[in-house]
């Protein structure tokens, strides 16, 4: 019996039971640990504010909860709303509530982020600020810069996901929504770093990037990566987020003449519109492309 089936038909399901079943279904759907943590935290926050049962959640109860979040950044408020909306849609689909109260509310509107990739010089400055003895961090941030991987995708990599056949080095990546893709490792420096890291650590199986605290060697946490990134950025005198490495890689590819469908596949985007927000073409690249089109047109006339 599935978690959701176990509570179907109950006249007034407990909110805690429904949340537990919802999270279990997300786990069955192979959602990432980071996603599950975010949903769990957001729904726990709502449960602390709302003392009723699942069927007693009304639009007014939601408005009352969201009113307590006005001090938060718009992106954070939007995420909290999205978590509740996803949960309530799930409850409605599973016949646990008669209507979805979230559908009656206007949601926080966020403007699409502008492209903001890091310049190559800035990336190298940050990477150069990492001590030579920190081979794990040197590899992790070089990997993000040269492949455009999401941080969560990089941290989910296992040694068995790496294929190092000569001239055909690749990564097998588990992306958002449980979608898998294969990523070409086309930078010789990066390949050499991976081989050196594996040799130094003697890793044969398990996570590629591991925590070093107390020598335990468990999976490396996202929060730890953020702390180290902030340290290296400060040392290099660069203000940047880790995600800008992904923007920068996309921009570098489009300015190198790589097609948008290929960039979409490399970044693991579901649709091309998302890729368009990441890839910012330089004026010089656009001018060169238009000049080539003009010469080709005149030669054919």
**What are the two backbone dihedrals, phi and then psi, of residue 185, each rounded to the nearest 5 degrees?**
-100, 95
pTM metric for this prediction: 0.61
From residue 242, alpha-carbon distances to 1, 51, 66, 126, 292 in Å are 42, 38, 29, 11, 35
**What are the two backbone dihedrals, phi and then psi, of residue 75, each rounded to the nearest 5 degrees?**
-65, -40
Chain centroid, CA 135 distance in Å: 23
Residue 149 clears pLDDT 60, i.e. is over it: yes
- What is the residue-averaged pLDDT of the chain? 86
Residue 299 clears pLDDT 80, i.e. is over it: no
Residue 17's CB is within 10 A of a number of other CB atoms, namely 16
Question: Per-residue pLDDT averaged across 197-209, rounded?
Answer: 93
**What are the two backbone dihedrals, phi and then psi, of residue 298, each rounded to the nearest 5 degrees?**
-70, -35
Instruction: Tell which wins on pLDDT, 294 or 79.
Output: 79
Instruction: Output the pLDDT for position 13.
Output: 77
Instruction: Output the pLDDT for position 6.
Output: 41
Answer yes or no: are the C-beta atoms of 147 and 185 closer than 8 Å: yes
Q: Model confidence over 25-72: pLDDT tens digits?
A: 999 988 888 889 999 999 999 999 998 899 999 999 999 999 999 999
- The string of DSSP codes covering 34-62 is HHHHHHHHHHHHHHHH--S-GGG--HHHH
Residue 300's CB is within 10 A of a number of other CB atoms, namely 6
Distance CA 273, CA 270 (A): 9
**What are the two backbone dihedrals, phi and then psi, of residue 156, each rounded to the nearest 5 degrees?**
-85, -5
Non-local CB neighbours of 212 within 8 Å, separated by 6+ positions: 136
Distance CA 176, CA 141 (A): 20
pLDDT cut 90: percent of the chain above it: 62
From the list 176, 193, 174, the residue with the least C-alpha distance to 185 is 193
pLDDT confidence of 281, banded at 50, 70, 90?
A: low
Residue 5 clears pLDDT 70, i.e. is over it: no
Residue 7 clears pLDDT 50, i.e. is over it: no
Q: Model confidence over 72-108: pLDDT tens digits?
A: 988 899 999 999 999 999 999 999 999 999 999 999 8
Instruction: Output the pLDDT for position 177.
Output: 81
Instruction: Output the pLDDT for position 273.
Output: 79
Provide long-range contacts, Cβ within 8 A and 24+ apart, for 57-62. Answer: 57/15, 57/88, 57/97, 57/101, 58/101, 59/101, 59/102, 59/104, 59/105, 61/101, 62/101, 62/102, 62/105
Structure tokens, 217: 């060697």
For residue 184, the cross-strand partners are 170
From the list 138, 126, 136, the residue with the least C-alpha distance to 230 is 126
Instruction: Tell which wins on pLDDT, 23 or 284.
Output: 23
Instruction: Output the pLDDT for position 1.
Output: 37
Instruction: Output the pLDDT for position 280.
Output: 62
From residue 7, alpha-carbon distances to 16, 39, 177 in Å are 11, 20, 26
Distance CA 61, CA 67 (A): 10
Chain centroid, CA 204 distance in Å: 26
Of the ranges 85-94, 99-108, 246-255, 269-278, which one carries the lowest mean pLDDT score?
Answer: 269-278
Supply the angle between the helices 59-67 and 74-93 in degrees, to the nearest 10. Answer: 160
Answer yes or no: are the C-beta atoms of 263 and 250 closer than 8 Å: yes
pLDDT confidence of 3, banded at 50, 70, 90?
A: very low
Catalogue the active-site residues.
150, 176, 243, 246, 269, 278
Residue 151 clears pLDDT 90, i.e. is over it: yes
**What are the two backbone dihedrals, phi and then psi, of residue 271, each rounded to the nearest 5 degrees?**
-135, 160
């Amino acid at each position: 019996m599935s978690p959701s089936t176990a509570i179907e038909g109950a006249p007034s399901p407990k909110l805690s039971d429904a949340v537990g079943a919802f999270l279990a279904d997300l786990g069955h759907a192979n959602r990432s640990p980071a996603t599950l943590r975010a949903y769990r935290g957001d729904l726990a926050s709502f449960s602390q504010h709302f003392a009723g049962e699942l069927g007693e959640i009304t639009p007014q109860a939601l408005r009352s909860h969201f009113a307590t979040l006005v001090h938060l950044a718009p992106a954070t408020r939007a995420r909290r709303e999205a978590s509740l909306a996803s949960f309530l849609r799930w409850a409605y689909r599973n016949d646990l509530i008669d209507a979805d109260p979230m559908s009656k509310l206007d949601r926080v509107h966020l403007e699409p982020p502008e492209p903001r990739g890091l310049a190559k010089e800035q990336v190298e400055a940050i990477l150069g600020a990492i001590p030579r003895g920190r081979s794990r961090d040197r590899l992790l941030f070089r990997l993000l810069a040269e492949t455009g991987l999401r941080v969560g995708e990089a941290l989910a990599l296992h040694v068995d996901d790496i294929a190092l056949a000569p001239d055909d080095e690749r990564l097998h990546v588990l992306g958002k929504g449980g979608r898998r893709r294969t990523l070409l490792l086309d930078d010789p420096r990066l390949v050499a770093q991976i081989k050196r890291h594996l040799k130094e650590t003697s890793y044969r199986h398990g996570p590629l990037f591991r925590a070093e605290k107390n020598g335990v060697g468990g999976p490396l946490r996202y929060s730890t990566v953020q702390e180290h990134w902030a340290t290296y950025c400060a040392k290099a005198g660069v203000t940047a987020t880790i995600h800008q490495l992904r923007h920068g890689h996309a921009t570098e590819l489009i300015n190198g003449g790589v097609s948008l469908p290929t960039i979409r596949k490399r970044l693991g985007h579901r649709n091309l519109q998302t890729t368009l927000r990441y890839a910012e073409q330089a004026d010089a690249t656009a001018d060169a492309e238009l000049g080539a089109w003009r010469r080709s047109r005149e030669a054919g006339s």
